[in-house]
Structure formats: structure tokens, C-alpha cells
């Protein structure tokens, strides 16, 4: 992770000191419902609503939001789910039209996060939970965005279809011609798929993905579709399979196997921030304080099966701790951002989109 720290620092320096608002941590955060907050709770409850845009599957994210609602029933939650690219395009179109509807936004593509920061898109709110997160997991200056979760990806298979001794053990094994017409990936709108393309190309060269394209991979919007198809024996393996999806289906008792190649797992942070101009700013501050606390991170791990970035947090149920996994993440997020157009063009070709 040392290379990641240095790369992120360079990226943030390039992003500049743009701030939507200025402010520091409040002097005396209030202890409420088991966590500390600087939000004005009376105003948050008077606003009565919280609009969230994120990339997580709807059913699981709604369970997380429901845990918040149990503590603050006067605040209604409203959720919109899209893959990172589509979500960012939606927010951009809304802002161009001078329409501000979202209170909290999660993106799984750090390139987009830094781009939004450059455009002064984030409110500067320093949560009292910031001390629980490493410097490289937070914006510089603190308070624009925070890594609320980290999602690794490997190779998934159905042991009823692919015996464990025949499952891919390496990333090279995952592009064997025997997987032709039997392998799935995410669409180019996925932040995690972009990281996978970027990092595995760095390790193995551009021909790696050309060989995958020859296997006629099927592209899907959500890992829910991928794991459903795997369990139903419609496909044999998932390439760049979300570890969280494996843990979720495993807990359900579904026949799923997972391989973590020795060279590492592509991983992307789920980055949370408060966009400027949102209609419910106090509710947004209250939620971000809860979400980044031990309570919120526990709800996230137990329902979304993602790894928390908070110091001392337990791994998701059935999962390995982050420090036991080798993660592959870009060391220069600005260069990563610039690669999106090339990635999307190549990936859409492989998945049959034009």
C-alpha cells in the first residue's frame, strides 16, 4: 500500500485545493444513538428526507439505509442505484441543468471522484469520525470524501459445474480458451471493472484483455446478475468477480467458489461525499457521521459484505481481513482517470456494445 499512498498524494496535489465550502471539525460533537456527530439533528429531522446515489445493489443498500432509519425514523431515505459511469453522468447532467437533488453520493471510481473534486463538487464537512481512517483513505484536505468501503475482486466459479481442481488458479488461467462463451464480466460503467482492466494490463500487457475478448465474455450491470447466472449454471466463471458477492452468496448456502490469484486482487474504494447544493444538507451530515462510525461500518459490512476502511473494523462475515489480501490499485489516480475513454472503447467492443 506504500505505492498507493504516494500515488494518491500526487493525484490529490494535482486536483488542487478546490473547496466547495470551508470549515473544520466542530469543537464539541454530540454523542447520539451510539456515535458522535456534528450535524444539527433537529434540522436534519425537520428536513425529513435523505437522497442517496450509489453503485451498490438496491436490496442490500436499502438494508443499510434501514439501519439508519431505525435510529432516525423522521428521516425518509430515497435511493438511486447506478453503475459508477452512469451515476456520474446523471449527476453531471443534473448539475448542467441546475438541478440539485442528491444529498449523498458514492462512487466506485477514484478518477471520477477526483474529477468531481476539481469541479468544486463536494461540500467540505469534517466528520468527527475522520480519526478512524488512514490519511490515504481521505481527501486532502479532509472532509470532501472518504473511503467508506473497499471492494476486492478475484475469480468466482460454481463447484458443481467446475470442480475446484479444474478452477482457474491464476489470472492467466482465467483466459483459457476453454471458458469461451462461459465467462462473465461487468460493463464498462463499472469502476471496479475499470480498475481490473487497468491493473491486469499493467501486470500482463494489453494482449491479456485481447485474449479475454476472444472468449466472447458476457457483460452485466450488476454482480447480482453474474452470481445468479453462475449458481444457475448458465456460466462457468466470473472474471474480476466481486469478493463481496461471493461472500453474500456463500452465506446464502449457494454453490460458489472463489480464487484469489497470488498476483493480487483488483480493488476499488467506495468513496462517499456530500455534493454541493443538496436539498437536505443536515440529514446528509448526520448520515455520513453514522455511516463512517463503527455502527454504520458494521451495517455496511453485514449487508453489503464489503471491507471497511475504518481502523480496527472487522472483515465482512466469512471474509478475510484486508491485511491478509494483496490488493491491486492504481498508484496514479490521475493517469487512471485519463484511461477511461480507452478502457470503455475496448471493453464495449469485448462485451458486444458499440
Instruction: Kindly report the length of the chain.
Output: 354
Q: Which neighbouring-strand residues pair with 32?
A: 35
Q: What is the pLDDT of residue 22?
A: 39
The whole-model pTM stands at 0.88
Distance CA 198, CA 210 (A): 13
Distance CA 236, CA 141 (A): 45
The Cβ of residue 141 has, within 10 Å, a number of other Cβ atoms equal to: 13
Q: Which neighbouring-strand residues pair with 238?
A: 156, 184
Distance CA 88, CA 219 (A): 20
What is the set of domains in the chain, with CATH numbers?
A: 15-149+269-319 (3.40.190.10), 151-267+327-350 (3.40.190.10)
Which whole-number Å values give the CA distances from 347 to 18, 186, 282, 308, 330, in the listed order? 33, 9, 40, 29, 18
Distance CA 234, CA 140 (A): 45
Instruction: Give the model confidence (pLDDT) of 140-157 as tens digits.
Output: 999 999 999 999 999 999
Q: What is the pLDDT of residue 27?
A: 76
CA nearest neighbour of 285 among 130, 108, 131, 134: 130
Let me know: does 136 contact 4? Beta carbons within 8 Å.
yes
The Cβ of residue 140 has, within 10 Å, a number of other Cβ atoms equal to: 16
Sign of CA dihedral 212, 213, 216, 220: positive
Instruction: Report the chain's mean pLDDT, rounded to a whole number.
Output: 92
Q: 207-221 b/e with 16+ CB inside 10 Å = b?
A: ebbeebeebebbbbb
Dig out the grid coordinates for 135 from the structure.
490519511
Distance CA 144, CA 66 (A): 25
Let me know: does 1 contact 136? Beta carbons within 8 Å.
yes
Q: What is the pLDDT of residue 24?
A: 66
Q: Which parts of the chain have pLDDT scores under 50?
A: 1-23, 354
Let me know: does 155 contact 167? Beta carbons within 8 Å.
yes
Amino acid at each position: 500500500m506504500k505505492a498507493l499512498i504516494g500515488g494518491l498524494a500526487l493525484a490529490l496535489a494535482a486536483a488542487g485545493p478546490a473547496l466547495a465550502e470551508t470549515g473544520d471539525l466542530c469543537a464539541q460533537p454530540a454523542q447520539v444513538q451510539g456515535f458522535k456527530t456534528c450535524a444539527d439533528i433537529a434540522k436534519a429531522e425537520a428536513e425529513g428526507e435523505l437522497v442517496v446515489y450509489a453503485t451498490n445493489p438496491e436490496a442490500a443498500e436499502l438494508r443499510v439505509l434501514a439501519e439508519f432509519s431505525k435510529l432516525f425514523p423522521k428521516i425518509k431515505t430515497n435511493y438511486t442505484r447506478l453503475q459508477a459511469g452512469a451515476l456520474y453522468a446523471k449527476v453531471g447532467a443534473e448539475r448542467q441543468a441546475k438541478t440539485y437533488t442528491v444529498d449523498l453520493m458514492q462512487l466506485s471510481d477514484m478518477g471520477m471522484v477526483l474529477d468531481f473534486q476539481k469541479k468544486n463538487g463536494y461540500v467540505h464537512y469534517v466528520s468527527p469520525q475522520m480519526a478512524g481512517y488512514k490519511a490515504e483513505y481521505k481527501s486532502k484536505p479532509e472532509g470532501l470524501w472518504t473511503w467508506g468501503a473497499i471492494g476486492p475482486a478475484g475469480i468466482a466459479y460454481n463447484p458443481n459445474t467446475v470442480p475446484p481442481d479444474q478452477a482457474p488458479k491464476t489470472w492467466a488461467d482465467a483466459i483459457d480458451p476453454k471458458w469461451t462463451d462461459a465467462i462473465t464480466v461487468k460493463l464498462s460503467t463499472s469502476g471496479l471493472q475499470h480498475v481490473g482492466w487497468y491493473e491486469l494490463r499493467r501486470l500482463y500487457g494489453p494482449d491479456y484483455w485481447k485474449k479475454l475478448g476472444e472468449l466472447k465474455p458476457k457483460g452485466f450491470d450488476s454482480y447480482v446478475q453474474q452470481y445468479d447466472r453462475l449458481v444457475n449454471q448458465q456460466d462457468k466463471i466470473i472474471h474480476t468477480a466481486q469478493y463481496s458477492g461471493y461472500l453474500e452468496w456463500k452465506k446464502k448456502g449457494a454453490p460458489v467458489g472463489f480464487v484469489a490469484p497470488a498476483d493480487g486482487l483488483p480493488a476499488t474504494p467506495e468513496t462517499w461525499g456530500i455534493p454541493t447544493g443538496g436539498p437536505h444538507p443536515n440529514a446528509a451530515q448526520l448520515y455520513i457521521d453514522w455511516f463512517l462510525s463503527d455502527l454504520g461500518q458494521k451495517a455496511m459490512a453485514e449487508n453489503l459484505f464489503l471491507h471497511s476502511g475504518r481502523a480496527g473494523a472487522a472483515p465482512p462475515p466469512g471474509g478475510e481481513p484486508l491485511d491478509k489480501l494483496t490488493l491491486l490499485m492504481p498508484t496514479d489516480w490521475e493517469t487512471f482517470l485519463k484511461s477511461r475513454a480507452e478502457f470503455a472503447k475496448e471493453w464495449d467492443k469485448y462485451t458486444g456494445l458499440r
